[in-house]
Amino acid sequence: MIGYEVIQVVSNAHSRISGWITTFGGNMTYPINSVWVWVGLVIVISFTKWTWLTAESQINEKQPPTLRHTIPFIGHALKLARNKKKFFSEAFKKFNQQPFVMLIAGKKHYVFSDLADISAIHKNTQDITFRWTKVFVYTHLLGFSKKDAELMWDIDREAEKIDHRWLLGKDEQAEDTAKYFYNVQEHIDALDRDVEASDSKAIEVDGLLTVINLEGTATVETFYGKTTIRRHPKLIDDMMYIVTQGFKPFLFEFPRFLAPKAYSARDRIINTFIELNEELESRKDISGYFLERYRYIKDQGAPPSAAGADMFRHLFASLLNSLPTTYLAIVHILKSPELTAAVRQELETANYNKLSPKERVQILPDKVPLLRSVWFETLRMHNNLLTLRQVERETRISTKPEWLLRKGYIVSIPASAVHYNEKLHPEPNEFRPNRFMERSLGGGGENASRTLKPFGGGASYCPGRAFGEKQMMGFIAELLIRFNVQIIEPHFEVPPNGDFDDLWARPRSHWKITRRNAV
């Protein structure tokens, strides 16, 4: 078919030829007129198009079909930016859930959602890598210089072993998790004092801000230490400004004068962490994980600017997914009195309120399958991750059918396309809190490790996923065990996406909080 771009070529060519005839012919009358010009052009272009398609059909024998676009270079970037979930849902329906190719800002992307394809992509770390993605995020979002980004790519391959040991190792993870549970308890204690100090023994709060301020602060204190928050009390405010207002200016490289607040917020965060890096050995309240990781990075010759930006990356990773997921999970729970009661009953059966924060590591998440299923179901419905890789060498992924991937293309895996696949998740638009519980416990029996992709996969499978689960569970458990929490808005609708900027722009739920033992 002759697309928009070809029609434009024909139109432009017609105008030019008509102009040449007028210029050289003057007032003379020629047997050539605009009709014959059009006929000739259509014949030439049709032949050229047929030749191109014949050649392409041989090359594209194992290439996914292309999603047509109307704007050269930009492609589908604007539609994607407006609503990723809707865009991918409509595109996969168009191609009957098969992979396709799309153009985004001059880059061609292969888009996959089939689990076999995704598994093959994640396994092929030699030919399909995330180096391009990582360097792009480092330089555009996180403020790394290109030199520091390349240096950190090399250093990170060894530093990631430290990440995996501390974030996935049983004993090391338990150390930071217990510290986090203690910090959460302290902040919930402060919330309790606010409730007790009020005349009505009840307070009303913005739900999202409550999660950000309490869970977010507890997380920062766990890794970066309370000294960091005490010296820089606006750290989380700066982070929130960046994730709600700074992404687009950074991604599109706006000059500083067009987004001064976003750039200043990022500078303050990085400078905070440069200061921490310089005082690494004397700060006694930072986590053992951070001490080991940044001591190693320092020993490898990374300058303070790179270490500071890398700490910003960790802050970004530890809050960007967990905070929206916690907020949305709480809203889902509060909208159902039966679910609220069931979660509390499960926690009480596991003796949560009789255990110290350190001992709670033993029951979260293993002894609370319903709360864990709520975590997975919230991720399934609201996580909007788009995993990106670059094809470094022409390669094939051996699935059925086998696909040929060309060098230089980007491979995209939208989590929402997997999470809303009806074959994997029946009735995907319905929130089912027990979807991921074992059938023997009365659940749906779905396998989260196989059919959920909120943390990427393969070599870049986020090692912080286990701690993120405990972030949500530890906060929700403490909140619901100690307080009655009620959504004030009678018909509040749960936001569809977990993207921070989207949540921030939508109406937020407000909560009335009272002590559970209050009359």
| Residue in the block written with tokens 């609370």 | 368
Mean local confidence (pLDDT), 103-126:
94
Amino acid letter, residue 499: D
Mean pLDDT (the chain) is 88
Contact in structure between 95 and 87 (CB atoms under 8 Å): no
Residue 268: Cβ within 10 Å count? 16
Q: Which of 253, 408, 268, 437 is nearest to 343 (CA)?
A: 437
Mean local confidence (pLDDT), 43-63:
47
Tokens linked to 191:
């919330």
Residue 15 has pLDDT above 70, yes or no: no
- The least confident of 16-30, 96-110, 383-397 is 16-30
pLDDT of residue 61: 58
pLDDT of residue 418: 96
Interatomic CA distance for residues 52 and 500, integer angstroms: 44
Strands 100-104 and 403-405, how do they pair?
unpaired
pLDDT of residue 36: 47
Interatomic CA distance for residues 104 and 94, integer angstroms: 18
Going 411 to 384 to 251 to 161, the CA torsion angle's sign is: negative
pLDDT of residue 243: 93
Looking at residue 493, the DSSP 8-state letter turns out to be P
pLDDT of residue 56: 41
Phi and psi (nearest 5°) for 89? -60, -45
Comparing 248 with 517, the larger pLDDT belongs to 248
Tokens linked to 18:
């008509």
Comparing 158 with 270, the larger pLDDT belongs to 270
pLDDT of residue 157: 82
pLDDT confidence tier of residue 16, bands split at 50, 70 and 90: very low
Residue 7 has pLDDT above 70, yes or no: no
| Residue in the block written with tokens 């995996």 | 164
Interatomic CA distance for residues 386 and 80, integer angstroms: 11
Tokens linked to 263:
């750039």
Percentage of residues of the chain with pLDDT beyond 90 = 79
Residue 389 has pLDDT above 90, yes or no: yes
| 354, containing H or E segment | none
Mean local confidence (pLDDT), 1-27:
33
Mean local confidence (pLDDT), 49-74:
67
Mean local confidence (pLDDT), 184-208:
97
Tokens linked to 444:
């749906």
Chain centroid offset of residue 185 CA: 28
Contact in structure between 148 and 302 (CB atoms under 8 Å): yes
Residue 79 has pLDDT above 80, yes or no: yes
Residue 75 has pLDDT above 50, yes or no: yes
Residue 54 has pLDDT above 60, yes or no: no
| Residue in the block written with tokens 């039966």 | 338
pLDDT tens string 302-341: 999 999 999 999 999 999 989 999 999 999 999 999 999 9
DSSP notation for 28-91: ---S--HHHHHHHHHHHHHHHHHHHHHHHHHHGGGSPPBPP-SSTTTBTHHHHHH-HHHHHHHH
Contact in structure between 304 and 274 (CB atoms under 8 Å): yes
| 231, containing H or E segment | helix 226-231
pLDDT confidence tier of residue 252, bands split at 50, 70 and 90: confident
pLDDT of residue 392: 96
pLDDT confidence tier of residue 251, bands split at 50, 70 and 90: confident
DSSP helix/strand/coil, 365: coil
DSSP helix/strand/coil, 202: strand
Tokens linked to 270:
């990085």
DSSP helix/strand/coil, 403: strand
Q: Which residues contact 496 (CB under 8 A, 6 or more apart)?
A: 85, 381, 382
Contact in structure between 487 and 167 (CB atoms under 8 Å): no
Comparing 42 with 255, the larger pLDDT belongs to 255
Contact in structure between 293 and 164 (CB atoms under 8 Å): no
pLDDT confidence tier of residue 47, bands split at 50, 70 and 90: very low
Residue 35 has pLDDT above 60, yes or no: no
Looking at residue 405, the DSSP 8-state letter turns out to be E
pLDDT confidence tier of residue 206, bands split at 50, 70 and 90: very high
pLDDT confidence tier of residue 10, bands split at 50, 70 and 90: very low
The pTM is what?
Answer: 0.87
pLDDT of residue 52: 39
- C-alpha distance across the termini of the chain, in Å: 72
Task: Please provide the size of the chain in residues.
Answer: 519
pLDDT of residue 460: 73
pLDDT of residue 370: 98
